[in-house]
Structure 1
Amino acid sequence: MKRLLLIAVAAGLLVGTLGAWLLWWGGGAPKDETIVVEEGATLTSLCPGLERKGLIPGNCTTYRAMARLFGSADGIQAGEFEVPAGTSGAALLDLLQHGQPVSRLVTIPEGTPSIIVQEKVAALPFLTGAAPLPAEGSVLPDSYGYKRGEARAAVIGRMQAAMTRTVDELWPKRTPTCPVSTKQEAVTLASIVEKETGKASERRAVAGVYCNRLKIGMKLDADPTVIYPVTKGKPLGRRILRSELNADTGYNTYRRAGLPLGPIANPGRESIAAVLDPEQHQYIYFVADGTGGHVFARTLAEHNANVAKWYAIRRQRGEM
């Protein structure tokens, strides 16, 4: 009788274990769900919410017991997780322990002014708080991840920290070719280079032109510095007015020699590097060449000839 009883108990345990195993791997979420896991959360703290959403087989007590029996002992990750309909209890635990959290990105293109950075971050969903206006030139253009529930100020803070790290890294590598004496001056000139050319291959050449002008006390004559006080860096959408060219705003480099009061946009890493190590040449002029790039000149006579060619191209296009 004792032997039969032991066999019956063993059979019962086997059946129970098999049933639990089938329950662990079977079932599934009734619909797609999103789970947000806070830092330090455990399966015990998450379980009531999972049960309310119908994401786990059985109740919390049953699920935790199955997790101990069949699952991994690894901790739960913080982050946002998308749970597809039909996800089993086993797959759910694996997702929370080893899966990839939802990645949300915001991209700041090179040359973006701070007012647009603020607007972009303010428009991001799932964040909290207001988006502060970062100081011009303090944000490094790049793609940044953010989490649901994060403060907008924290996201902008990471962008600014990235710029600080980048400038600190590049500054010791500078050459004596360009007369910028501070990190802020380097970022200011880099913001002009960024706005003047979208062609990566000529950044150092454009930086060289402006460095040459600074050396001889010649005005930079950069159109984007005229536009910045008018729009805070947003597109002007029209031709620059004569009154704007004549306005002494502190930024207008047609009015004064030297650098403007500060950056006119947020320059990228490569433009900062270009200013700190510009191409060495004798050019002090450049004008568009009709292909998206520029043609450079050493003398005013050469430059005027290049400008005439550019005007001819524009007339052929019906732009003048």
Structure 2
Amino acid sequence: MADYKKKNTVLKVILALIIVLGLTAAWFAYQAFMAPSIASDEDYFYVHSGEDYASVLKRIEDEGIVKNPELFGYAAKLMELPANIKPGRYKLSKDLNNRRFIGNMRGGYQDAVSFRFQNLRLKTDFAGLLGRNFEADSATFLGLLNNPQVAEDYGFNSDNFFSMFIPNTYEIYWNTQPKEIIDRFSKEYDKFWNEDRKAKAAALNLSPKEVSVLASIVKGEALHVDEMPEIAGLYLNRLQKGMLLQADPTVIFANNDFTIRRVLNRHLTIDNPYNTYRFKGLPPGPIMMPSIASIDAVLNYKKHDYIYMCAKDDFSGYHNFATNVADHQINARKFQKALDERNIKK
């Protein structure tokens, strides 16, 4: 009887130990795989192209990405992450567990960059924005944007290549190669220039590239989208009459001085093909990245007889338009007087 009780006690102890060990193992497995594990307040964790697992694990620990790096490392080995890690931009959230985090890096399930751009003046501005949003640096992107052969490959030249990039929002993976990103913009450009837009450009006796150059001038002049078709109509009138465009934004671009607030006679003398006070027709390329609104304003321009315009003296950003020099000079004197009153000399 005593032996029986002793054996029964031993069995109970063993059973208790099994339960404890089982619960411990279950708790450990839960913490390692299923419990929320992210400690960082960062929105994303980046795995660089060519980066090995040891480097990634060290950064996860050094940057405080997870609460328990040891448990993360244990789970990562069991899930074979060391041999299968993929570069990318991975979303972090406080409810994310190791299993999902590791699974994302193992499968390359990253979040795309919602890349939006507009109101860019120079290629350097665009390259900088690209470098801040994607893995490759700005110098790499600028090298592509300034490469004549790259421009030629897409059917452009160094002057008008900038018009291939249509401002919009694009979903692109962070570690996409720079050339592939340029390819994406080329495809979007081809989609944008559909048959309807091409037909409207042809009706103006302009190519899509020329429309974009004119649109960049319209954008440079217009502070308000609703005035763009009227401004576009004015410049089209000048082109059709063989007149100099005499667009102040082209002079500012030609002088490479974007601090100019008042275009003076000395600015007009520069010998530069972008100076439309000296050179007839359109400049060789866009003076800034044209917007969709400015391109469509050219294609759907407002028909009128205006060939002159001057900013309104109320500084509203709108313009006074004129069909003759006399009326234009009246408008110009009003604006020059307003500039003087505000002590805007340059």
- The Cα shift of 1:235 comes to 0.9
Match status 1:196 vs 2:212: no
- Residue 269 in structure 1 maps to residue 292 in structure 2: yes
Contact 1:222 1:253 in 2 (8 A): yes
Structure 1 residue 94 corresponds to structure 2 residue 100? yes
Aligned-partner Cα distance in 2 for 1:221–1:48: 58
Q: For 1:137-176, what per-residue CA distance to the aligned partner results, in whole angstroms no more than 9, with x for missing partners?
A: 2333345666665555555554555444433476236277
Matched, 1:185 2:210: yes
CA contact (8 A) 1:30 1:55 kept: no
- Structure 1 residues 281, 176: CA separation in 2 closer, same or farther (over 3 Å shift)? farther
Deviation at 1:267, TM superposition (A): 0.6
| TM superposition shift of 1:92 | 2.2
CA shift in 2, pair 1:12/1:295, >3 Å: farther
> Match of 1:138?
164
In structure 2, what is the equivalent of residue 216 of structure 1?
241
Compared CA separation, residues 208 and 49, structure 1 to 2 (3 A): closer
Q: How many residues align?
A: 300
Normalising by structure 2, we get a TM-score of 0.66
Could you give the per-residue CA deviations for residues 33-86 of structure 1, whole angstroms, max 9, x where no partner exists?
Answer: 8744579x9xxx9699659945352864x6666x79xxxxxx9986323657xx
Contact 1:111-1:268 at 8 Å conserved across structures: no
Q: 1:20 aligns with which of 21, 25, 36?
A: 25
In 2, the alpha carbon distance for the partners of 1:96 and 1:198 equals 49
Q: CA deviation at 1:221?
A: 0.7
Cα offset for 1:7? 10
Aligned to 2:158: none
Report which of the two has the higher share of helix: 2
Give the percent of matched residue pairs that are identical in Structure 1 and Structure 2: 25
User: 1:81 is matched with which residue: 87, 90, 97?
Assistant: 90
1:251 aligned to 270, 274, 278, which one? 274
Where do 5+ consecutive residues of structure 1 fail to align? 69-74
Q: 1:112 and 1:300 mapped to 2: Cα distance?
A: 31
1:15-54 map, 5 Å: 16-26=21-31, 28=37, 35-37=45-47, 50=57, 53=61
Q: Do structure 1's residue 174 and structure 2's residue 183 form an aligned pair?
A: no
Query: For the residues of structure 1 that align with 2:72 and 2:126, how far apart are their CA atoms?
Result: 47
The amino acid across from 2:218 in the alignment is V
User: What's 2:320 paired with?
Assistant: 295
- Separation (CA, whole Å) in 2 of partners of 1:77 and 1:170: 42
Gaps of 5+ in 2: 62-67, 147-160
Distance 2:22 2:54 in 1: 21
* 1:279 partner amino acid: K
Query: What letter matches 2:97 in structure 1?
Result: A
SS in 1 for 2:164: coil
Residue 13 (structure 1) shift: 6.9
Aligned mates of 1:255, 1:63 — CA distance in 2: 67
Distance 1:170 1:309, change over 3 A: farther
Maintained 8 Å contact 1:80/1:148: yes
Specify the SS of the correspondent of 1:218: coil
Counterpart of 2:69, as a letter, is: L
